[in-house]
Structure 1
Amino acid sequence: MQRRRFLGMTAAGVATAALAPVLTACGSESPVGDKKLKLVAADYGDKPDNSSKKYWNSLARDFESKHKGIKIDVEVYSWTEVDKKVADMVAAGKAPDIAQIGAYADFAAAGKLYSADQLISIPTQADFITPIAKAGEVHRVQYGLPFVSSTRMLFYNQSLFTRAGIAKAPETWEELQAAAVKLKAAGVKIPFGLPLGPEEAPAETMLWMLAGGGGYTDNTGAYTINSDANIKAFAWVRDELVGKGLTGPGDPARTNRQDLFDAFCKGEVGMLHGHPTLMQQAENAKLKYGTAPLPGIKGKAASTMGVADWIMAFKQNGHREQIGTFLDFLFTKENHLSFTGQYQLLPVTESASAAMHLDRQYEKLWPFLDQLQNADFYPADKTSWAKVSATIKEKIGSVVQKSGDPAAVLGEIQREAEATELADR
């Protein structure tokens, strides 16, 4: 899952006025009078048996049985290709009606998306959890509808902790380092997993920034990548974790999240940052694990990272009314909870969130859910974020190498971020 933190983008050409629906035929494949909606979505499964395709096909058939005259054509792609697939479709003038992907801001800035109030009912709009919904805004107009969310916690291997004589999860960086030292002494291959490779670099980077009292942006939405707090955070990681051999034999700059998740499930990792789906993987591996709030520089981190994936509606085919009808159906409590519960993700609506909190089958998700209201997200509303994120993936790993210079590298990323912001205005 890609997600993401926000607020404060300027972009010309964003449509804010409501548009009347243009009810044009969607192609000769549909029965006469039917409107066919093309939906492109990301796959949250890790094998064919739990592919998201099954959820979307079932939902589509259920919707079609209740809404005669609207057909849903579903295409599901892996996370490694879905964003590019949609971008290519849009560039070719063949935008889908609905896309469930990782980012919306570029399309919103280009005036290609319907706004939320042009699509969905007031009750559906009001049901979104406010901090997450605001993350979908451009110029205070919502274009990105949150689809699912997650937060991050510290995961630890209980058996390895017992072997190393560690009584409880660390709450501070000093305690985290001390625990990592004990794990290393006990023969643990990777005392602390640090994925700064291209798959997870922006998320892992943000977690350390938040734990150190920093972040990607300030309250006004301005980039603060090279703040003193962020520089100090990565100097600490360089010197106290990587420099002391506490992150395992691999290079963090080339280490991806899923590789560490797999190693954690094999019992090779003592601690790492993780999201709810790691619980399912660990349980499938019959691993004894625990979760705890993120350790911070002087105590538990004031906030954690929240991630949202997005669903959006393109204006090209003029199917505003039909898209809105489908999205209202998608975000009913039962349908939304069905998807999030299946993939150990967090709901983005108050009704589904409340239902999850009352159902003991989701009890292990409650700590992640409790963090959601105060979580910090990627600046996903910035059209510059995609380029900034790519730069972070390329460069951040170097800051924790022996000769790494956090001030220089973060300063370079900051300058590039500011230049991209100016160019996008």
Structure 2
Amino acid sequence: MDADPAWANEGALRAAFFTESDERRRAVIGGFAVGDAAHRSTLLRLEKAERMALFSFGTRANWGAHGLVIRAARLALEAARRGDGAAVLSLAEDLMAVRGVAPEVHMSCLEVLWRAPAPRLMAARSIAAAAVAGAREPAIFHEALRVAVKVGDDALAETCLRHGARYGADLSRVRTDPELALLASRAAFGQVLAMSEDERRAANLQRLADAVPAPRPTARAVLERALLLSAIAWRASLPNTQPLVVGGYLPKAERRKQSLCEWLRRHAREQGTPAEWAYLEAPLETSQSSEDVDRSWSIEAAAVLAWALGRRRAPPLEGKVEPEELMQSLGLGTKAGVALLEHASWNERFDAIAFARQALAVHWRTVEARVRPGPLDVSTFAARQGLAPFDFGRARIEAGDLVVAGKPIAAAKAGKVDRLESLALERHRAARWLCGLDAEWNDGLVVT
């Protein structure tokens, strides 16, 4: 069934669904199940009671309900990637409250809730508890446990373990889950908390080393990825199209871009998502400033990969990496670059797991500063939450907190903190891939 464009207006939707016949309501549900971006936006704008009526009716009518709730769960995930935490929690609450929803919807909702900003996790706890109480699918217990551990609800963690065992959940893997190993609760992981600080740090590192779910990338794959990211960052760093046109440089820049794309297609074609290739190969006159800004941060991930291969020094915590300089060190577009690809090798002094811990710590603190502004003693916080001590590596710590631009992060200018968060996200993304925590390059949300 084709979606009716009129339903993209919430007023028309209300009139159609709440005042007309059951047949019309079924048609509305079918429209949302196959709807476009306008329908998704409308669904987010509906009042909570109206969404609940829509979902509940669809389930009772048993017509279009499955497609609708799956669509809504995906909406919640999309909203999470946009940082729309209120929409995430509201949609997840709605879906979890509807009886008869497919287990994969519960899984999607729990995945969203585990990623929710800290202030909303307390509300997420009750939803996770409800899911566990009615769950029969083993995997749901593992996802609910993630929420319980992150919230610090020991009772819910114990409930997850107890009920999960009853329904055949393989909860032994919880102890080797790299995320849960860093968020261990007191009740579920008391033996970890009994360790000394050095023992706990070593144990967490060993968990990360043993629990990687995918093979680590080869040195050649890392070099190909670094080459692609540096080219993307170079393209994003070009002046906006108007100065290029006025100065007469657009044709020259376009020719160089095309040459780099051809070289990458010949020698580094195994890496790159469709979205990355589409951005890199698009004509410069179609450039969008917002995407250029987002893509320009790719250079920070590329710098980490180049460091892992010994092609540059460790990138400075807050310093700037120049795309042109990195492209030259990697040999992008040259015969020397082809030779480097054929003999790609690791920097023996680069410790991927240690760097991953440090990247996570810096990324987490910058996100925490945005979500919950104010000073924080990170060591005290870690001990209170039952976490292994944070390892900030070369970053400065004063008064127990991360220093940004010479000041504790709570006192630093917002622009400086925002910049460090963007930088830290890309380095964390690179670190996870280098450790094998992400089987494929993750071009989207990176969880702290």
TM-score (norm: length of structure 1): 0.29
Indicate the structure with greater strand content: 1
TM-score (norm: length of structure 2): 0.28
Indicate the structure with greater helix content: 2
